[in-house]
Amino acid sequence: MLFLNLNLIILILFCSSQDFPAKGHRRSPSDAEFRDLTFRDAKESLHKELEKLIHTADPSQQTHVRKEFDGFEQLFSRFLEETGPSVDWEKIKLLPEGAVQPYNELEVQLTNDQMKTMLNKLVVLKLNGGLGTSMGCTGPKSLICVRNNLTFLDLNVQQIEQLNKRYGTDVPLVLMNSFNTDIDTEKILRKYSQMKIKIHTFNQSRYPRINRESLLPTANSIGGREQEGLSDCWYPPGHGDVYESLYNSGLLQKFIDDGKEFIFVSNIDNLGATVDINILNFMNNPSNGPAPEFIMEVTDKTRADVKGGTLVDYEGKLRLVEIAQVPKDKVDEFKSVSKFKIFNTNNLWMQLKAMKRVVTEKTLRMEIIVNPKTLDNGINVIQLETAVGAAIKNFEGAIGVNVPRRRFLPVKTTSDLLVIMSNLYSLHQGSLAMNPMRSFPSVPLTKLGTSFKKVKDFLHRFASIPDLLDLDHLTVSGDVTFGKGVTLKGTVIIIANHGERIDIPMGAILENKIVSGNLRILDH
């Protein structure tokens, strides 16, 4: 739908015959010329508007803003030029032997000294640009409490701090903030100033949203985040921005100068994304051939993650294919667990020098994600985004590692939060470990209804987090509350229809049960 609309716009604006070979409309040299001219027009108009915006910035900020806008202009030109589908389905090949290494083949025995030497070459970067909006929270997502009153940020800091303590190392933690999360994050970071961990932050870019009709920025001044009416005009362009922004911040060069060689990048809400010595060692001492410049951790698909991006062989290189790029009639094939068996966890390892090279040589070609929005004032805008993993094709000797599921524990919804907070996991030095009492390693499938969507409502509806040790599947819908010390086993479905309410009593044990209708427990 999205791509269709855009193609339509481009068709109208540029009379391109490339995507819609209209009847009787033959592409002639003059069409191509016309298109080139209109592209040039669109680019020039945008450039003029951006120059105007730069002049509204504080003089001390102008150089920085100009650098950001250069990145935006590059993205915008590619958006104009690359009109066709970003992947040709016929060219997609299944992965060749060795393109994805099983994790257990990487396991090695290392001495503490060897580990220390490798860890001292590592930088850990967490993507911290997102807000907790989808879970009903106003600030950065990383400040949501996950367990024992600790936030994602606390847990990530603890992990790295403990690692440094244990090995006597100096692994820095880097946070890529966005203009949405930076101020709140900085406030919290002050509490870690006494700890044995160096924390660096930088902002990802702040790009202008563009009007869908005119393709020009909606902003008329740079403004700040607080400035009335302007916050809508800007956006952080997805985590693919990490390459440019880390470079622009000066940190990339600083780490190289400090003797760092590797960077581990992951989402801050993935609590399974801990520093892994085996993968780091593989990056440092590959058993055969040259060191990979890029490692993507992938994991086996289950029915719950058929929409995740997958790795394929494309024109002889590894490529990440996301569902948005797949032609409509191939979506079922894409989702098939038997054909595309793995998906991207977004835990990525890179050589810092290679990261620098792709930025300075401008060889990054991450697929552009076009995200349409309607602003409060009714104006339709688009924002151009990229995803960090899509850069895999621009690195040499890139490889996938098929990791155990425990390295992928994202918290996207309160259903995920329920599982993470429960007795299925225990917390050890900032890392979550699955309870050994669980009889099988899979995580239960949980679906909490909209009454549980906001973290505040979710917490209010559970007097305490139930025992989930033997749970396979939980569905809860409607006005439902749980008393203290409830145990859920097997498959449990609890449905309160509109106007009804169900209170699961204190200490209840529900095993393979469907509960519906009204169930009120009144104080007496």
Which residues of the shown chain bind ligand NAG in the complex (CB under 6 A)?
149, 179, 182-183, 203, 225
The verdict on whether residue 70 carries a ligand-binding annotation is no
Residue 191 annotated among the catalytic residues of the structure: no
Q: Which two tokens stand for residue 297?
A: 């951790």
Q: Hey, what are 63's tokens?
A: 């150089």
What's the CA gap between 327 and 307, in Å, rounded? 14
Which of 187, 254, 339, 412 is flagged as catalytic?
Answer: 412
- Is 269 annotated in a binding site? The answer is yes
Nearest distance from residue 218's CB to ligand NAG, in Å?
A: 18
The answer to whether the Cα torsion of 326, 330, 336, 341 is positive or negative is negative
Reduced to 3 states (helix: H, G, I; strand: E, B; else coil), residue 203 is strand
Short-list 98, 461, 463, 150, CA closest to 287: 98
Report the residue number, 47 or 484, with the smaller CB distance to ligand NAG.
484
* Shortest Å distance, C-beta 145 to ligand NAG: 7
Rounded to a whole number of angstroms, the minimum distance from the CB of residue 147 to ligand NAG is: 11
Identity of residue 103: Y
183 or 304: whose CB is closer to ligand NAG?
A: 183
Binding residue per annotation — 141?
A: yes
State phi, psi for 182 to the nearest 5 degrees. Answer: -60, -50
The residue written with tokens 């104080």 in the block is 523
**113 vs 226, beta carbon nearer ligand NAG:** 226
**Residue type at 512 in one-letter notation:** N
Residue closer to ligand NAG by CB (options 182, 244) is 182
Angle between helices 112-119 and 152-167 (to 10 degrees): 130
Q: What would the DSSP string read from start to end of 205-219?
A: P-EE-EETTT-SBS-
Is the Cβ–Cβ distance between 398 and 283 less than 8 Å?
A: no
Smallest distance, ligand NAG to C-beta of residue 413, A: 22
Q: Please, which residues bridge with residue 100 across strands? A: 400
Residue 364 DSSP SS3: coil
Handedness of CA 285, 291, 293, 295 (dihedral sign): negative
Nearer to ligand NAG by Cβ, of 128 and 299: the residue is 128
Tokens found for residue 221: 């001044």
Q: How far is the CB of 41 from ligand NAG (least distance, A)?
A: 32
Comparison of 203 and 422: residue with beta carbon closer to ligand NAG: 203
Nearest to 273, CA basis, from 263, 286, 281, 282: 263
Give me the least distance between CB of 61 and ligand NAG, in Å please: 9
The radius of gyration of the chain from alpha carbons, rounded to an integer in Å, stands at 25
Q: What is the DSSP letter of 294?
A: E
SS3 355: helix
Does the annotation place 238 within a ligand binding site?
Answer: yes
Q: Using the minimum distance from each CB to ligand NAG, give the nearer residue, 161 or 182.
A: 182
| Distance in Å, CB of 202 to ligand NAG, minimum | 6
Give the residue from 407, 402, 313 showing the smallest Cα distance to 105.
402
Closest among 335, 313, 337, 312 to 323, alpha carbons compared: 335
Q: Which of 511, 448, 446 is nearest to 478 (CA)?
A: 448
The first and second tokens of residue 27, run together, are 């592409």
List the binding residues for UTP.
141, 204, 238, 269, 412
Annotated binding site for substrate: 239
Q: Residues comprising the binding site?
A: 141, 204, 238-239, 269, 412
- Active site (catalytic) residues: 412
